[in-house]
Each structure stands twice: as structure tokens, then as C-alpha cells.
Structure 1
Amino acid sequence: MRARANSRRQLANILRLFVRTNGLRMLLGTLLATLTVLAGMALLGLSGWFITATALAGLSAGAGQAFNVFVPSAGIRLLALGRTAGRYAERVVTHDATFAVLAALRERLFRGWAQPQAAQALLRQPARLLFRLTQDIDALESVYLRVFVPSVTSICALVLTGAVLGVLDWRLGSVVFGWLLLCGGGVTIMAARRARAASLRRSLELERLRAQSVDLVAGQTELAMSGQLQWQCRAIARTDAWMAQADDRLHRIETGSSWLLAVCGHLGVSAVLLAVGALVRAEALSMPLAALALLMVLAALEPFSSLRRGALDAGRSWLAVRRLGPRLNQVQRAPEFSTLARLGGPGDGAAVARLVAAETYYRRSDGPALRAIDLHISPGECVAVIGPSGAGKSTLLQLIAGEIYAHRGTVQAQGCTWLTQRTELFQDSLRDNLRLAAPDATDDQLWAALQASGLVGDVRKFAHGLDTRLGEGGLGLSGGQSRRLALARLLLHPADFWLLDEPSESLDGPTAEDVLARLVRNARSKTVLIATHLRREAQLADRLIVMNHGRMVAQHQRGTPDFEAALAALRQH
């Protein structure tokens, strides 16, 4: 019961987000959908009345002359044009409003993830987070398009049918309203309940299928080397078969509910036919009005067809609400002990970065990754953090960059740009990969950055220049070219504080020396923090910070014997 109440609360919160994001357009779309359905019902009923009345008028010359064909025929034309225009406008408005809301929700969700430690979560569960951002968000469209709008139009159609038939005979109107409500609502609820398990299973199996496919593509080399490639393929085939079973179950439920709704509609029309026949025989109702009543009932169940399709997706939508509700509505904030501030500038010259008793954890059970870090970096200073692998060098840069939280202590830093160990390039053009650092950069600025990074000659040799398309992960560039492209991106960013994580690692000697020389030339007015275990990088620094097991164990200033001794202990390449 508590879980259901929580799910309803999350659904209410998401509906409020819908209203706040594009509520007026959604209301307009619902109104247009309702008017379109009512116009269609009125068109069918008026056409039946007109045809029957015209046929009866034709039996008598006097009645034919007295019968006014212009008003009802004009009404039919008006309703036909209005229904066509309304249907088009309704489709445009409802879908435009829905897509706008989903885009806003997707942006809100993405911004909620774009916080410290988001990158680690993305690397751990890429398929799951992508599923949340795409399929789960898309599942929410059913809440409006396939549930709310058809529900409103169905109720209005039933009210119109009951009102029209009630004017003709109150008993007939009451019985027909009750019967249509029982049939349409009952079939919809039954379909939703029967389809919920299959819909949930299909959604879960689709997520599992995507995760398994991502694992197959990303890890095919490892799977092949370990002899697990065929096993992974069989696992994907099993998941696909289970999803096919869920699809088959949903198809059967849809077919059955469609058949049941049609039977109920035919029974209702048959009963109304007998009732209006009796009323006509008793001269309590004219034949044209009897035709109008019959055709109104025939059209009254049409909106429930759309609602039935929404009922089949209800399980998927409900699961999306449960998954996304907490993430879309929570206020993103740092942990209790974290203070992450951005200093506006050197100002009093105090610091570009200041850490006081800072500690951070990857997982609480593992103990601190960094312990009691006290660090002060002045403007224009070049500092190198050295130590063995696992000492916490990269973690310190992550903490200063705001990529991870400080669970205890204080971290303050100016805005910075971070050159990580891994060059992150995307399947896009060279131009757009560069503009990640400066979205408004002109082509002249891009060429200048490439010139400064030493990549301009290679790019000019490419047939398409800046429009050259890169493959996934920068496929098409060598390791040295990728690093130079990352350096160009670093130079384009306007920040005066650089974080460099082993900038020449994995490069051959001449390339590494050239990259470092270019970094030095362009970093003269910058504050630089380098994490390294190489002598050629550490010797650029004014101060060395020695780390071990997450602690700062020593600091050495350039020109001191300890500084030279620490440098000598590092490997050159």
C-alpha cells in the first residue's frame, strides 16, 4: 500500500511538471480533441437524420416542397470541415505540447545527472541511464496522449450521447449512458489490469536487451578472448524471445479487448435499435430522430479505442513514473559536509584553489580516497602532484574540478578546465569536437588553437578540413593527434586555471616533448596543477606535492635539495 501511495504521489508530481511546463497548450489540445470527437458524432447523427428526413419528405410532394434542405446540409458541411480542421489542429497542438514537455523533462533529468560523480555512474550503467533518458521519458507521453486526452473525450462523448438521447426519452438516455460507461470503462480497466504484467515485463526485457547488446558491442574483444562471446549471443537471443512473448501477450490482450468492445458496441446499438423502433411505433419518436439516436450511439464508443491503447501502455508508463519521479522532483544538492564554492577571482591574491581538511570517499565502506587535504594554490603558480599509482593524484584533480564531492572539509576553486588522462572525442566533426570548449568560437579561432597545438598541418591535409568526421571515440586520429586535439580544446577554453592529468602519458618521446613545450608556451599566464609520475612533466612545476595513500606527505619548493631529490626519483619516460 505504501508503494502504491508513493507511486501515486510521483504521478501527481509528474503531472504538475506537465502543467507547469506546457499546461496551456495541453489544455488547448484536449479541448480541440474533444471538439473534434463531438463534431464527428454530431456529423454522423445529423447526416443520419438528414438522409432519413429527406427520404420521408420525398414520399409526399407537399412535404418535399416544405422541407428545408439548406440548413441541415450547411450544418453537415460545417461539421465536416470543422472535424477535418479540428483533427489536424488537435494532432499538431497535442503532439507539439507533448514533445515540448518530454524535451523539458529530458533536459531536467540530464541536468540532475550532470553533478559530481555523474561520470562514474554513467560508466557503471551506461545502458540503464540511456534507457531512463530515452525510453522511460518517451513512455510518459502515454500519460497525456493516450490516457488523459482520450479519457476526457470519452467522457464528453458519453455525456453528449446521454444528453441527446435523454432529450428524446429520459429512460433511453439514462440506460444508454450507463451501458456505454460500463462497457467502455470496464473494458479499458480490464485491459489495463491484464496488460500491466506483460507491459512491465516487456519494458524490463527491453532494458536488459539493450544492456546486453551494449556489453556485446563494447566488450566483444574481451568476450571473445574469454570464450564467452557465444554465451553472450545466446543470452541476447533468450532475452529477445522473452520480450517476444510479452509482445504476443500484449497483442492478444489488445485483440481480445478490441473484440469485446466491438461486441458491447453492437449489443448497445441493437438494443437502441429495438428501443427507438418501439418509440417510433408508439409515435413517441420520429424516424429521423430515431436514426440520429442510433448513429450517435454507434459513434459514442470510438474514443474508447484510443483509451484502450493507452491502457495497454499503462504498465510501462507506471514503471517510468516510479523510476523517474524521484529523480525529476528531487532537489540536487551536495552531501551534508560538502562545500563547493567558486572564487570570483584572485581578488585579494589569496588563492586560485583552497582545500581545508578535505576528505572524499568513493564508497563509505572503503574508507577515504583522500584524507585531510590542506592545499593552497596561488594565482600564476605551477604545481605538480606526484606519487605512486593509486596515491590519489587524479582524485585530487577531480575534487578541485568539482567532479566529486568533498564529504568533509572545504573545497574552493576558481572555474577551471581539465585535461584528463583519456582524451574524450565524439563521433562528430572536428569543428564540433573543438567547440565543446568554446561553442561560439569562430573558424579563425579554431585554426589558431590547432596551430598552437601543432595539429594544423595534419588537419589541412584532410580532404574536408574542420568538417572531417571522426568515428566513435575519435576513430580516424592517431594517439598523438587525439592528444593534440585535446590540447587545442584546452587552449580554446577561457579558464585561467588548468588541471592537467598526465598530459604526455602514452605519447612517444618527440611527440610528448612537443606537447609539453606547447603547454608551457601557452600556460605563461595560467595557474596550472599537474598530476604526474613522470619527470619531464614534474620538472615544469614551481612546487611539488608528494601524495601517498590519499594523503599529502610532503611539499617541496623549486630550488631546494628535496625538490631535486623528488624529481630524480621519478622516471623520465
Structure 2
Amino acid sequence: MTGNRNLRAVASLFWSGNRNRLLAGALLSLATVLCGIALLGLSGWFITATAIAGLSLATALAFDVFAPSAGIRFLALARTASRYGERIATHDATLEVLAELRERLFRGWAVAGAARAMAARPARLLFRLTNDIDALDSLYLRVLVPLFSAAGAAVVTGLALGFIDIRLGVASTLFLLAVGLGVPALAARRAQKPARRRAHALEVLRARSIDLVRGQSELAMAGRITAQREAIAKADRRLAEADDAMNRTETDVSITLGIAGAVLIAAILVAGAELARAGHISAPVAALALLIGLTATEPFAALRRGAVELGRTLTAVRRVGPRLRAQDNTPANNEADAAQTAAYLTHATAAHPGAAYPALAGVSLQIEQGERIAVIGASGAGKSSLLAALAGEMTLVDGAVASLPSILFTQRTELFSDTLRGNLALANPGASDDEMHAALEAAGLSRLLQRLPDGLDTMLGEGGTGLSTGQARRLALARLLLRDTPVWLLDEPTEGLDRETANDVITRVGRFAAGRTLVVSTHIRREAEGADRILRMGQGRLLAEARRGTAEYSFLLDGLRPE
């Protein structure tokens, strides 16, 4: 049942966005096949009829060569045009669907808990976005379209032969459907396990290769480089074995369909000869029937690779389907509806998978619009979990949470191998160059930008390579400033920065947060100063709360690190 739901989730994505082009591609594929059958059949009839007509002068003069030759030219041109149209329609529709699927998968992994679980195994994420999605093109291009064309060709072949002899038409159709569809179905069943092994081996090979490249120093220090190389070689052998098994299955399908085609041609030849001998049909019609049978099995040959790769496709469906369904079923984070309320939690309880204690335990909190709050506590007290719950990135086990649109500034600076413009555009794709320059200046990077010859088009390495830690943190801050949201959630924003840089960042954040709600998780005094309230967390609970101007506020502030 779960597999059917996953398949429906993927199929609905194909069907909902490009149904007209998908149908057009399938019809053009069928038209190509039918034009090919008709072209060869008419050509055989024309050649045979011309040869017989040439035996005597009278029949030669009476024979019309123009109509059949015109039909042959028309079918040749129609076949070429339909083939070209089919390639354009099917591939364009498929590539567009796969592009949309990548976007939807990103959104599916952005739900609470999913991104954290996937970040623990980044190789799996890369595999889902590349090989698994690429495998889904076989579902339409190599399975559904060839299946539709082959079934249509079998029916049309039966109708054409039925006009010659009804028994021949029915028998040919039944034979084509039974063998032409049965053999690929058996091949798909046989190739299912090798296809799954291949997908797993390819994922393991990629992950182990990445670990070898990125962890050479650690592996060398531990004396594990040779072991890692052997593990890669083992995964490569498993991949080769799976490929061999799938290729053998495809070869067997080709041989079986070839034999079936020969049997069909032999049967039509015998039946045509018998009908011609009895005077029921002429020799040209017998040649027409023979050549129709010769091309009738050709569409089924296109199914062989799709049948072999069906296991790989279904494995990809099983992997990506849950994320699509999770996205469709995940409720949006409720927005605070009170006039002056920016966010609130009511008896909020949340836990990390496998944790012995809850990350949040019955926390109730109301935050007013424009309020500035500092959340303090020891490491593991629940500060980051509180911000993640407000941002909608942690699913509550119990209780309720609601917030105005917010942005979470985490402890990790996530920069990508892209230009400065590309990294900034993640926050606001429609931001102009002037807006980006203003954000960089506000974050204290105007001097750096002036020194870069390519300006916003300067390329950064993976993880922001090329920038210092402070510059990378400031670039992440500039990205925050481009995000026009009423609530900012900052998780230890100056951790790892020197005093001067940290003070500058705090000053700039405070200046540009005017009118916004600001919640800062910290254990440093400089980040908590200026807050309207201080909240003290411990073991996932809200232990203390103090407003500015009270003695408890000063006591909590004095307990923080001074630097």
C-alpha cells in the first residue's frame, strides 16, 4: 500500500503539470510506430504488385504507380516528423517535471526534522537529487510511452491482418500482447533485485569515494586509507556484478523477442501462402501481411531497457515518494493572530529522535511584536531547540506554536560554491544589485567588496572558502538583512568572532532590527545587553524570566560571560 501511495505521488506530479505534452508525446510515439508499419507494408505490397504487373504489357499499362508511391512518400515524411515531434514533446515534458521534482524535494526536506536527518548523511541527499530523480525519467520515456505504442501497434496490426483474415488478425494480436508484454514483465521481475543492488552499490561507492577524498588526513592518521580503498573496490565490484546481471537480462529479452518475431513471421508466411494458394488473397496482399508482421514486434523491443530499469525506477519512487507525500501532508506553521503578538508557545514539548530527555518540556511563552528577548542557559539547555520550534523547524510532540514569518540565523555559516550574488540571492532572489550592496555595507563588508575585482560576481569556494571566519559570518548577516521578515531568530550570532568584529555585528543587527521582533540565544553578556527580557532555560524548561530594570534581570545578566 505504501509503495502504491509513493507511485501515485510521483505519477500525479507528472500528470498535473504537463499532461497535454505527455499525451502528445505518447500519441506521436504511436503515430511513429504506425507510420513505420504502414510504410514497410505498403512498400512490400507496391514492390510485389509492380513486379507482377510487369509480367505483361496490359497489366503494366493499367497499373497505377502514382498513388502508392505518393503514399510511401507521405508515410516516410510523416514518420520523420512524428519521430522528431515525439522526441521534443516527451523529453521537454520529462525534463520540466524532473526540475519541478527537485524543487519539491527540497521543500519536502525542509520540513521539521527532515533536514536534520538528511544532513547526517549528505551523500544520500546528493544521490536523491541526482541519480534517483534521473531514474524517474524511465517511468515515462522507457516504460509508459513504449508500452502505449507497443499495445497500440499490436491492436492496429491485428486490425490490418483481420481485414485479410479474421483468424490471422486475432491470433496475431493475442500473440503480440502475450509475448510482447509478458517477456518484458518477466524481465522486470528478474531484474528487480539486481537493480536495487545496483542503486545501493552506486550510492555506497559515491559516499565512500567522497569520504576518501575529504577525509584523507583523518584516514591517514588512523591508518585506514588502505581499508577505505578496499571498501571502495568492494562497492565497485558489487556495482559491476549488478550491471552484468541487468545486461544479461536485457540480452535475454532481446533474444526472446527476436525468436518470437521469427515465429510470428513464419506463421504469417505459412498462413499467407495457404490463403494465396486457396485464392482468398493475392500475392501482393500476402507480401503486405508478411511485412506488417515483420515490423509488428519492433515496438516491443523498446520495452526491454525500460523493463530492466523498472526496478531502479521503482526504487527511486520508494525513496522520493515519502518526501513528496510528507510535503503534501505537512501543515504550515500557524501564524500568530493576536494584534500585538509576534510568536507564542503553549505547553510546547519536543524531542530529538533517540534522545533520553525532551529538548523542550512544556514551555509556554508569549513574545510581543517589536520585543527583544535574550535566551540564556548552559549548552544543551534547550536554547537552540526553542528557536527551532519558533521557526517551525522542529515538530512538537505536544502543545502549540505560532509565529509571524521568521528567519533563523544558526550557529553554522552555510555558504556555497557560488558567487557573492548567488549566496545573497538565497535570501531574496529578486534583490537588485543596489539592495545587495546596501546589505553588504550594513554588514561591514563594503571595503572587502571594493577590493574584489569582480564585485558581486566573485566566486567563493565550498563553504565560503576565500573568506575569513569573520567575513563569512558577516556575509551570512548580509543575507539575513535581505530577508524582510518581522521576526529574527539569532542562535549565538557572534560565536567564534573576535571582540571587535562581534561588537560591530551586534551594533549592526540592533540598528537594522528596528521595528522587528528579535530573539537571541546566547551565553555572552554583550549579546544579551539591551534585551527587553531575559529567559533562562534549563533541561528544556523555562526556569526564569526577567524584564529590564528588575534586580533579577541584572542578576541573570551578570551570570553571563563578559567577553
Q: TM-score range by the shorter chain?
A: over 0.9
Deviations 1:32-52 (A, max 9, x none): 111110111000010111111
Deviations 1:302-359 (A, max 9, x none): 0011111111112112223333444434565569xxx942125x73x3x322223222
Q: Using the TM superposition, give the Cα deviation of residue 301 of structure 1 relative to its aligned residue in structure 2, in angstroms.
A: 0.4
Whether 1:463 aligns to 2:453 is yes
Q: Tell me, yes or no, if the aligned pair for 2:419 and 2:460 is still in contact at 8 Å.
A: yes
Whether 1:39 aligns to 2:32 is no
Helix, strand or coil for the counterpart of 2:281? coil
Whether 1:551 aligns to 2:541 is yes
Q: Using the TM superposition, give the Cα deviation of residue 68 of structure 1 relative to its aligned residue in structure 2, in angstroms.
A: 0.6
Name the structure 2 match of 1:176.
172
More deviation in 186-195 or 318-327? 318-327
Name the structure 1 match of 2:45.
49
Whether 1:135 aligns to 2:125 is no
Whether 1:520 aligns to 2:510 is yes
Helix, strand or coil for the counterpart of 1:352? strand
Whether 1:420 aligns to 2:410 is yes
Q: Using the TM superposition, give the Cα deviation of residue 465 of structure 1 relative to its aligned residue in structure 2, in angstroms.
A: 0.4
Deviations 1:92-130 (A, max 9, x none): 112222233333444333323221223212212322233
Name the structure 1 match of 2:188.
192
Q: For residues 12 and 388 of structure 1, what CA distance do their matches in structure 2 show?
A: 47
Distance 1:114-1:163 versus aligned 2 partners, 3 A rule: same
Q: Tell me, yes or no, if the aligned pair for 2:336 and 2:344 is still in contact at 8 Å.
A: no
Name the structure 2 match of 1:296.
292
TM-score normalized with structure 1 length: 0.92
Q: Tell me, yes or no, if the aligned pair for 2:157 and 2:173 is still in contact at 8 Å.
A: yes
Q: For residues 64 and 25 of structure 1, what CA distance do their matches in structure 2 show?
A: 48
Distance 1:331-1:398 versus aligned 2 partners, 3 A rule: closer
Q: For residues 81 and 211 of structure 1, what CA distance do their matches in structure 2 show?
A: 49
Q: For residues 3 and 387 of structure 2, what CA distance do their matches in structure 1 show?
A: 40
Q: Using the TM superposition, give the Cα deviation of residue 362 of structure 1 relative to its aligned residue in structure 2, in angstroms.
A: 1.0
Whether 1:275 aligns to 2:271 is yes
- Of all paired residues, the percent bearing the same amino acid is 52
Name the structure 2 match of 1:542.
532
Aligned Cα root-mean-square deviation (Å): 2.3
**Matching of residues 234-249 of structure 1 within 5 Å:** 234-249=230-245
Name the structure 1 match of 2:522.
532
Deviations 1:257-311 (A, max 9, x none): 2122212222332333333234334433222112111111110000011111111
Q: For residues 207 and 345 of structure 2, what CA distance do their matches in structure 1 show?
A: 39
Name the structure 2 match of 1:59.
55
Q: Give the partner amino acid of 1:563.
A: Y
Equivalent of residue 94 in structure 1, options 86, 90, 94? 90
Q: Using the TM superposition, give the Cα deviation of residue 19 of structure 1 relative to its aligned residue in structure 2, in angstroms.
A: 2.9
Q: Give the partner amino acid of 2:561.
A: R
TM-score normalized with structure 2 length: 0.93
Deviations 1:359-404 (A, max 9, x none): 2111365221122223233333322111211111111111112111
Whether 1:342 aligns to 2:332 is no
More deviation in 534-543 or 440-449? 534-543
Q: Using the TM superposition, give the Cα deviation of residue 18 of structure 1 relative to its aligned residue in structure 2, in angstroms.
A: 3.2
Name the structure 2 match of 1:444.
434
**Matching of residues 558-569 of structure 1 within 5 Å:** 558-569=548-559
Q: Which runs of 5+ in 1 are unaligned?
A: none
Whether 1:206 aligns to 2:202 is yes
Whether 1:396 aligns to 2:386 is yes
Equivalent of residue 499 in structure 2, options 496, 503, 509? 509
**Matching of residues 134-153 of structure 1 within 5 Å:** 134-153=130-149
Distance 1:396-1:248 versus aligned 2 partners, 3 A rule: same
Name the structure 2 match of 1:487.
477
Q: For residues 12 and 284 of structure 1, what CA distance do their matches in structure 2 show?
A: 51
Deviations 1:240-272 (A, max 9, x none): 110111101111221222122212222332333
Name the structure 2 match of 1:265.
261
Q: For residues 331 and 442 of structure 1, what CA distance do their matches in structure 2 show?
A: 31
Q: Give the count of matched residue pairs.
A: 563
Q: Using the TM superposition, give the Cα deviation of residue 480 of structure 1 relative to its aligned residue in structure 2, in angstroms.
A: 0.9
Q: For residues 333 and 150 of structure 1, what CA distance do their matches in structure 2 show?
A: 33
More deviation in 562-571 or 5-14? 5-14
Q: Using the TM superposition, give the Cα deviation of residue 66 of structure 1 relative to its aligned residue in structure 2, in angstroms.
A: 0.6
Q: Give the partner amino acid of 2:452.
A: F
Q: For residues 4 and 408 of structure 2, what CA distance do their matches in structure 1 show?
A: 43
Q: Tell me, yes or no, if the aligned pair for 2:111 and 2:327 is still in contact at 8 Å.
A: no
Deviations 1:502-559 (A, max 9, x none): 1211112222222222223323333221111112222232332222222222223333
Q: For residues 310 and 151 of structure 2, what CA distance do their matches in structure 1 show?
A: 19
Q: Tell me, yes or no, if the aligned pair for 1:57 and 1:63 is still in contact at 8 Å.
A: yes
Whether 1:366 aligns to 2:362 is no
Q: Give the partner amino acid of 2:435.
A: Q
Q: Tell me, yes or no, if the aligned pair for 1:94 and 1:145 is still in contact at 8 Å.
A: yes
Whether 1:125 aligns to 2:118 is no
Helix, strand or coil for the counterpart of 1:78? helix
Distance 1:522-1:571 versus aligned 2 partners, 3 A rule: same
Q: Using the TM superposition, give the Cα deviation of residue 468 of structure 1 relative to its aligned residue in structure 2, in angstroms.
A: 0.4
Q: For residues 227 and 151 of structure 2, what CA distance do their matches in structure 1 show?
A: 52
Q: Using the TM superposition, give the Cα deviation of residue 135 of structure 1 relative to its aligned residue in structure 2, in angstroms.
A: 2.7
Name the structure 2 match of 1:252.
248
Q: Tell me, yes or no, if the aligned pair for 2:348 and 2:362 is still in contact at 8 Å.
A: yes
Q: Which runs of 5+ in 2 are unaligned?
A: none
Helix, strand or coil for the counterpart of 2:359? strand
Q: Using the TM superposition, give the Cα deviation of residue 467 of structure 1 relative to its aligned residue in structure 2, in angstroms.
A: 0.5
Distance 1:9-1:333 versus aligned 2 partners, 3 A rule: closer
Q: Tell me, yes or no, if the aligned pair for 2:135 and 2:313 is still in contact at 8 Å.
A: yes
Q: For residues 509 and 163 of structure 2, what CA distance do their matches in structure 1 show?
A: 86
Whether 1:81 aligns to 2:71 is no
Distance 1:85-1:541 versus aligned 2 partners, 3 A rule: same
Helix, strand or coil for the counterpart of 2:518? strand
More deviation in 8-17 or 309-318? 8-17
Q: Give the partner amino acid of 1:354.
A: Y
Whether 1:309 aligns to 2:305 is yes
Q: Give the partner amino acid of 1:522.
A: F
